[in-house]
Structure 1
Amino acid sequence: MQKNFILRRILFLLLLAIVLWSILTSIVYLRIARPIFRNLKSEDLYDQARIISYVASKGDKIITDDVIQLLTLSIQFYESGVFISDETGMNLISNYPQDIADYYLDGIDHEFNHFVNDILSLQSRQSMIIFSKNLNKDLIFVGVPIIKTIANKSYLMGSVVIMQTVDELQASYSSLNSALLISTIIVGLLVAIPIVFFAGKVVQPLTEMREAASAMVKGDFSQRLEPMEEDNEISYLINAFNHLASELDSNISKLTNERNQLQHIIDGIAEGIIAVNSDGKVTQNNDMVWHLFHQNTRLYTSDELLKITGLDKLFKICLNEQRIVIEIKESGNDLINCLISPLLDQENVLYGAVGLFRDVTESEKLEETRREYVANVSHELRTPITAMRGLLEPLNDGLVKNEENQQKYYAILLRETKRLSDLIDDMLELSRIQTSEKIINLEPVYLKNDLLDLAVRFEVLADQKQVTFEIQDSKEQWSTVWGKADRIIQILSAIMENAVKFTPEGGKIVMSVAEDETGLTVSITDNGPGISIEDLPHVFERFYKADKAHNERGTGLGLSIAAELAEQMGHTLEVTSAEGKGSTFSLTMPFARDVMKSEPHLKDVYESDFDHEEQM
């Protein structure tokens, strides 16, 4: 009974309904019955008053023996008080009930006189109820006029007023009200028995359902309710509960399996993972995170791991500021990259954070190597600067008098300046590539005029070195390619510079243009010394020089920059060479019409334009 909350609530509501029903019934009864009983009492008194009025109107005077006799009967049998007045309102007779003395009515003289005047003036029956303070009771007064009819004419002779207490009415009210309350309680109890019985029938399966739900909360999803034979709401609810329990059992099993699979996947990846809730408590982690931070799972809990490694501070920043936190932490001799991201639900409410931890020791070493390369190249800046200073100081001091020597110094200064400029330009270009800046604003390009300008420029350089330069094209009208014109010319210029640089006097350089299904290909062929098989795979590597014994100056960055630019534009840069016979560098560019039809390329174009707008 203590656990049957619904049954107790039903019984309480039933008892409350019975009590309210009794109270409301009594109130309604009193409001309705009181006027009815008073009207009935008034009608009874009206009859008495009319009889006395009739007898009084038959004589020449109002007060006769018959009237006196009637007054005596009213007092004896009806316990009524009778008051007779003439047409002026003067009281002729005042007979009080045996239990009421005349002085008890002293406090209501004014109301009584006004009542009599209303009867005489209106010549109609009147009634009123007045509370007497002396008697502490309600008194009912009923009055009628005394009218004498002679020759079809009516003459007002006076008035008759009958008075009684309402004790009889109060007794009637009380007895009927008691009977009504008793009958209400009896009916309520009779109704309560079947209600309690059927409520118990309804509550029993609900109680069983509650116990089954409690068992399911504790992890026992095998709970089922016994089906009912009746076809009603309770049986439908039981069937729905059993179906829900079956589905829940199946889903929990599936989720458990998926969670185990997910845990295996998390444990199998190379990065460490830690997930926390909105309070910063660890909800998920894998073994790799313990390995990365060199901690033993048997010695500490996951929450203690956060405090030991200082990761709790990073998670706290992520949760409080709801932003991604990136930091590299040291773990012994290792460097661990920490990436912590907040987790938001569909309503953009924070419910936790997840951290990804990766060993970046090797990548940091590679970055250090790259920085060393840049430092080495920077160190090489001292060579041309030192040479230039050594030449400028005697010129500035006027120590070089000979015109021929001065021109020689100027030529060396010009060469060193150009070398310095080339080195700085290549370093800046390399820096741009290393920061992964993408080629922006790719577009259709018609290269014929640009290639002709390039040919004219390098033809002059080739003539200066006594090298023959030719340009060959199989078509007068070339197709439009997809790319960026200045970057394409930059690639071809780097190739042409190497061709002019390494082709000996009397050699030949040929630039040819051809089209096939893959795109437009520009090839530059020379008959220089060529590239050995061992060096050929490394031609496009940074700072690599194939001809290490050659005295030609260079930074070793030109071809690597060209290859990087070609890759970023989606072009193909290839080289074929035979040692002692020369080399051929080929740049293949896709047709603009093919790119415009290709959905992946359209996506690249959109992203390229978007990046360009952000930079603007």
Structure 2
Amino acid sequence: MSAQETLAKIRQPLQMRVANSLARGLGVRENFQSQLNRFFELLEQALVSGDPSWLDSILFEWSTARTQTDLQEGERNVAELLNKIVIHSLDTARENLPEGEALELMSGLMPLYLHAIEKVASYESESRVNYVSNELLTLKTKLERLDKSKSNFIAVAAHELKTPLTLIEGYTAMIGDLLPRENDQLHMLAQGVHNGIRRLREIVDDMIDVSLIDNNLMALNFQPVWLNRILNLLKADFKDSIASRKQKVEIRNFPGSEELLFADPERIYQALKNLISNAIKYTPDGGSITVDGRTLPGFIEITVSDTGIGIAPENQDVIFEKFGQLGDASLHSSGKTKFKGGGPGLGLPISKGIIESHGGTLWVESEGYNEAACPGSTFHVLLPLRTQPSDPRLAKLFGVAQLPEKPPENYPQAP
């Protein structure tokens, strides 16, 4: 008896066994029976011809018929179905055929079943990869939409806050002018209100800057800049904070710091101020902060190093995300230079945006986070070394060819 005839002999009980085992419910079983009929017809053709590719069409249909829910939950695995068909084939052949015929039949069927399982595994892997890729694309789109919504909210909220804040600031100044000069207590209270308004304005301005950066709308006013002067101004600005924290800040006269370059001085000042403020904040009392740098071909590098608590490797990208908070939000405390003082999480993202708007880059290096060992952190700023403005009209205005190599006498001095 040929293998085809042997298979035909056990086909009916085999199909019933598979259907009863895998399909639940009369309607489902009838539909499944039609699929099984087709499968076993193709299996017979493959057995006669010795060509397992006869099965490929139905295997492809089964593999690609899985719904998104099936893919998501890992259900209706076709490879698992084929494994059960193999097991039922063995059991049915053993129960209904002499040992020799059963062995001969399974010897002919096993290569076909192995081909089918390999093919299905390939089809299902491809379907799974496509499903995961589509899910990632959908998630990416949702995240981009969420980020855009957040940016829009920041922009609207900042502008809506700015108008009443200006009114509060103006009326507070008027009240301050009306206070009796001899009443020091009232003036102290008014100064406290003024300080709170100033801090709130800084936050609102930061929110507006974040919105400008997110929408690529930050306008830069390129002017002649000398980095050593900006750094000395910053050291003077942080003088009281440094003294109260008993820290040491060293501004080194590195190569390139005295050279003229074109940049937006206010924005560079803002970016470096955020970096130094961050270094002061996360360096324990008595620690040290060093600002150094060097020139590279076409660039100037500025480094801000501290002996602080450091940053874990997995958080070294997170700190540059807006509103990024590494600590427990429930333990948040405001403070520009207070040790581990909190903030809205906008300073470093703004610094990164400013540097990148100049065509540069900003990154951080740290061995890790450790409040006991204090491994420290080093922020690297890489700025293009522009010796003339990109706008030829500005070059003519400033007279680049005659620009002084050193700052003019009226250039802002450190106190």
Which category describes the TM-score, using the shorter chain as reference length?
0.3 to 0.5
Greater C-alpha Rg: 1
TM-score under structure 1 normalisation?
0.32
Greater helix proportion? 2
TM-score under structure 2 normalisation?
0.46
Greater strand proportion? 1
Greater relative CO (CA pairs within 8 A, separation 6+): 2
